[in-house]
Amino acid sequence: MARPWKLTKQPPALVKKLLLIIAVIGGSYSLWSQEETAPDYGELTGNFQFDGYFYQEDSAIGAFGSNYPDEKFLGQGFMNLNYTRGNFRMGVRYENYQNVIQGFPTEYQGEGITYRYAQFVKDGLDITAGNFYEQFGSGMILRGYEERGLGFDNMFDGVRVKYEPIKGLALKGVLGRQRKFFEKSNGLVRGLDGEFNLNELMGFGGNTQYILGGSFVSKYEAANSPIYNLPENVGAGAGRFQINSGKFSFSGEYMYKVNDPSFDNGYIFRKGEGLIFNGTYSTRGFGLIVQAKRIDNLSFRSERDASFFAVPINFLPPTTKFHTYALPALFPYATQPRGEMGFQVELTKNFKRGSFLGGKYGTTVVFNYSVASSIYKEYYDATDTLNLVKEGYKTDWFKAGDILYFQDFNFLVKKKLNRNLKMNFGYYNITYNYDVLNKGISDEDIVAKGNKPNMIYSHTFVLENQIKLTSRKYLRTELQWQLTDEDVSQEVINDDFNMGDRVMLLIEYSVAPNWFFAIQDIYNYGHPDVAKRLNYPLASVVYQVGTTRFQATYGRQQAGIFCVGGVCRLVPATNGASLTITTNF
């Protein structure tokens, strides 16, 4: 965590001018303290990141032609500046994409100030004008957030008011337009959220905490369709609860959305519904997490014709585990907003030191199982145009769908063998519906084809060792081995690099606190297409000084294809060198 630039001394003249400008822009709030001895000029904090990539042509992995950028070198980055004094806060972010690096949404083209806000907190009132991020409940009805690594940002530009009129009641209201890359959404978003802490509000519950919440979000977008009577105002409501009692925690949220025909749902006028439950139990040495979810037609964007990363209002939380090891991470899962039933359970057990399984230093075991499938859908006859457009299909909450999207069983054993050696061993068994998750094919099209989607079944074994060589020198190795069984067409084999058995070796050597070196290679020795049995070597060096980090990488990265809601984006293969600089202050 960077130490903020605390201005307790007289600042240099240039900085003083800058702060004066900020104060004038920010309004009438007095920048200069009346105390002569210790003037408080506030705090200025920020961070900076630059990513540059120098590309090489590499026909073996498909990095040529239109997949090889004319610019040869692409770079992008950002800087955030935040100024805080007392109850007042303001900030800006500058972003540049000159030009956007491969694999990111190409809609990010150019440079400019993308984020600016002023915020004031007083008497329980918290007001933000300008850009802001916000979340109601689990985010199922509204969530503005950013994922820099993905190139995702759906922040709002408008006004947000938070108010706590009485203890135990928190209210939020938002009005704004969402960011759409370097533009803004055509649609307006209005939202209200209230959260009641019953213990504080009504004075009951003892050691058990009861929280209830409710949200309403509405979007407006003008409509001019020659085909449909489109709703211009689309509303959604959600109710939630949370109960915390000692070792137990249980929460849930239900969302309902009125007719919202869109590109995502194929312009059907069906209502949307979603229900999610989370339960946890934790005690010393033992943890249990259970999640269940049902989603039906719950894509919610401020533009009805938007797709991919553009202007989603809500976030549908996944009920699968995100893997950090490289090979199991090749088969990721994303919530399917058109419809999904999901379930996840995770059990963590620490075996104590000195026990039979704990040994001298203790052992941790994590088991995880998750599954996601379609919801039950009974389609209307093709001649029943009205119901096809109005409802699309019939469903039943208590019947499961026939299409398996994803299933993951995995476990990880963490063991310290001696003072200098830690070892992790993991196993990942993933069933991956290639058609749904890689090609974005709809349930209807899969059913029409006899419910025989292209499937990939994988078993991955991971062995990680962390060796302390000296007090400052560490060696970390990863050996990963993935065995796959593809039930796919010849066309998929021809198109896709991402299949077949492979093995990966990673060696990292670090000298604290400044240096870090790593080399890795993935060898896709079992690709069904012999021409795609390739090595993907990668080497990197990191130099860190204070809060500043320089990273240089050179090597190959695999191609992939990414589909959402019926539109596909190619994430091309790359070969080349990259440089990343990050710092904060």
Partner 1 sequence: MKNALYITTFLSVFALASCDIVDEPLKDGIGGGGPAPTETLRSVLIEDFTGHKCNNCPKAADEIDLIQGLEFGNRVFAVGLHVTQFFAGPDASYPEDFRTPIGNEYETFFNISALPTGMVSRTDYTSTSSGHLKNYSAWASEAFALTAELAKFEILPNVTYNAVDRTISVTAQIPVLEEYTGNLNFMVMITENDIVAPQKMPDNSKNSNYVHKHVLRGGLDGSWGKVVNSGTALEGDTLLYSGVSAPIDSTWNKDNLYALMFIYDADSQEIWQVTEEHVP
User: From the list 283, 420, 494, 514, which residue makes contact with partner 1 (rule: CB under 8 A)?
Assistant: 494
With CB under 8 A as the contact rule, which of the stretches 72-80, 303-311, 317-325, 549-557 interacts with partner 1? Answer: 303-311
- Contact (Cβ atoms closer than 8 angstroms) between residue 455 and residue 436: no
Between 263 and 281, name the residue whose CB sits nearer to partner 1.
Answer: 263
214 near partner 1, rule: CB under 8 A: yes
555 near partner 1, rule: CB under 8 A: no
Smallest distance from the beta carbon of 554 to partner 1, in angstroms?
Answer: 24
Q: Closest by alpha carbon to 292, among 241, 238, 251, 249?
A: 251
- Binders of partner 1 among residues 406 to 465 (CB under 8 A) are 435, 439-442, 445-446, 448-449, 454
- Binders of partner 1 among residues 120 to 149 (CB under 8 A) are none
379 near partner 1, rule: CB under 8 A: no
User: From the list 569, 577, 579, 585, which residue makes contact with partner 1 (rule: CB under 8 A)?
Assistant: 569
How far apart are the C-alpha atoms of 349 and 415, rounded to whole Å?
A: 12
CA atoms within 13 A on the CB side of 192: 3
- Contact (Cβ atoms closer than 8 angstroms) between residue 29 and residue 84: no
With CB under 8 A as the contact rule, which of the stretches 32-40, 65-73, 517-525, 531-539 interacts with partner 1? Answer: 65-73
Amino acid sitting at position 357 = L
216 near partner 1, rule: CB under 8 A: yes
User: From the list 110, 124, 246, 546, which residue makes contact with partner 1 (rule: CB under 8 A)?
Assistant: 110
Give how many residues touch partner 1 by CB under 8 A.
81
With CB under 8 A as the contact rule, which of the stretches 27-35, 145-153, 258-266, 329-337 interacts with partner 1? Answer: 258-266
How far apart are the C-alpha atoms of 345 and 108, rounded to whole Å?
A: 38
Q: Which helix (H) or strand (E) holds 506?
A: strand 502-511
- Contact (Cβ atoms closer than 8 angstroms) between residue 374 and residue 340: yes
With CB under 8 A as the contact rule, which of the stretches 145-153, 292-300, 539-547, 568-576 interacts with partner 1? Answer: 568-576
378 near partner 1, rule: CB under 8 A: no
Between 341 and 446, name the residue whose CB sits nearer to partner 1.
Answer: 446
User: From the list 237, 252, 285, 332, which residue makes contact with partner 1 (rule: CB under 8 A)?
Assistant: 237
User: Quick check: bond before 197 cis, omega within 30?
Assistant: no
With CB under 8 A as the contact rule, which of the stretches 19-27, 53-61, 263-271, 411-419 interacts with partner 1? Answer: 263-271
389 near partner 1, rule: CB under 8 A: yes
- Contact (Cβ atoms closer than 8 angstroms) between residue 246 and residue 268: no
Smallest distance from the beta carbon of 103 to partner 1, in angstroms?
Answer: 10
Residue 455 token pair: 């499937």
- Contact (Cβ atoms closer than 8 angstroms) between residue 371 and residue 340: no
With CB under 8 A as the contact rule, which of the stretches 233-241, 277-285, 313-321, 575-583 interacts with partner 1? Answer: 233-241
Smallest distance from the beta carbon of 302 to partner 1, in angstroms?
Answer: 13
φ, ψ for residue 247 (rounded to 5)?
-85, -10
- Contact (Cβ atoms closer than 8 angstroms) between residue 221 and residue 232: yes
Between 467 and 571, name the residue whose CB sits nearer to partner 1.
Answer: 571
Which residues contact residue 343 at a Cβ distance below 8 angstroms, ignoring those fewer than 6 apart?
A: 291, 292, 293, 319, 370, 371, 372
234 near partner 1, rule: CB under 8 A: yes
With CB under 8 A as the contact rule, which of the stretches 21-29, 213-221, 290-298, 347-355 interacts with partner 1? Answer: 213-221
Which residues contact residue 172 at a Cβ distance below 8 angstroms, ignoring those fewer than 6 apart?
A: 134, 136, 160, 161, 162, 163, 191, 192, 193, 194
Strand ranges for 86-182 from DSSP E: 88-97, 110-122, 125-132, 135-136, 142-143, 146-147, 152-153, 156-166, 169-180
Amino acid sitting at position 368 = N
Smallest distance from the beta carbon of 3 to partner 1, in angstroms?
Answer: 37
How far apart are the C-alpha atoms of 159 and 534, rounded to whole Å?
A: 52
> 10 Å Cβ neighbour count for 364?
16
Place of tokens 């489109």: 230
Smallest distance from the beta carbon of 267 to partner 1, in angstroms?
Answer: 6
201 near partner 1, rule: CB under 8 A: yes
With CB under 8 A as the contact rule, which of the stretches 53-61, 137-145, 277-285, 483-491 interacts with partner 1? Answer: 483-491
- Binders of partner 1 among residues 154 to 193 (CB under 8 A) are 165-166, 169, 171, 181-183, 190, 192
355 near partner 1, rule: CB under 8 A: no
